[in-house]
Amino acid sequence: PPYNLVLHTAPLKEQVRARSVTRPREDPSGCDGLHRGHGRRGRCADGLSPQIEDDAWDRVLDTNLTGAFRTTRRALKGMLRARYGRVVNVASVVGPHANPGQANYAASKAGLIGMTKTVAAEVARRGITVNAVAPGYVETEMLNGLNGNLLDAVPAYAERAAAHAAARAMVG
What end-to-end distance do the CA atoms of the chain give, in Å?
A: 57
**Cα atoms in the 13 Å half-sphere on the side-chain side of 66:** 14
Cα(16)–Cα(19) distance, integer angstroms: 5
Segment holding 6, helix H or strand E: strand 5-8
> Please, which residues bridge with residue 102 across strands?
47
pLDDT tens-digit map of 10-60: 454 444 444 444 444 444 345 666 655 554 444 567 888 999 999 999 999
With H, G, I as helix, E, B as strand and everything else as coil, classify residue 136: coil
Annotated catalytic residue 105: yes
- The catalytically annotated residue of 3, 84, 105, 157 is 105
pLDDT band for position 93 (50/70/90)?
confident
With a pLDDT cut of 70, the percent of the chain lying above it is: 59
pLDDT tens-digit map of 145-171: 666 666 666 666 666 677 767 777 877
Query: Are the CB atoms for 123 and 79 separated by under 8 Å?
Result: yes
